[in-house]
Amino acid sequence: MTQYLELKEMTFHAYHGLLEQERLVGNTYTVDLKIHADFSRAALSDNVEDTVNYASVYEVVKQEMRTPSNLIEHVARRIVRQVHAAFPLVERVEIRLAKKNPPFGGDIKEAAVVYL
């Protein structure tokens, strides 16, 4: 049985980007995570210590989003590494990190990076 935890559309105002203006005014970003782990013990015990606490995962993502980077690829990879480091139960992390309305003069809703 495939088991995973999803955190969808976590929204942050952050200061990532190559342009100086992006670093000054920031932009809106969304993060979706899919965390693969064996949750069978938690399903039986009903104890948060037997699972991946999604509130704690959110705090990890929030902390990484606070650290400015040039590239969203770098931010996404940092988030994946920190989730693995903080939660030994995690087997695999999938992430989608999107920058809303990126500033390059085109009509575009978002630019995103996805790691599966």
Q: What is the mean pLDDT of residues 53-72?
A: 98
- Average pLDDT across the chain, whole number: 96
Domain CATH for 81: 3.30.1130.10
The pLDDT tens digits for 11-59 are 999 999 999 999 999 999 999 999 999 999 999 999 999 999 999 999 9
Q: Is pLDDT at 105 greater than 90 in this prediction? A: no
Q: What is the total count of domains within the chain?
A: 1
Residue 1: pLDDT above 90? Answer: no
On whether the CB atoms of residues 6 and 19 are closer than 8 A, the answer is: no
Catalytic residue among 34, 99, 100, 109: 99
Q: Would you say 69 and 36 are in contact if contact means Cβ atoms under 8 Å apart?
A: no
**pLDDT-based confidence at residue 86 (cuts at 50, 70, 90):** very high
- Owning domain of residue 71: 4-115
Average pLDDT over residues 61-78: 98
Clarify whether 34 is annotated catalytic.
no
Report the C-alpha gap between 45 and 50 in whole angstroms: 7
Please, which pLDDT band fits residue 106 given cuts at 50, 70 and 90?
A: confident
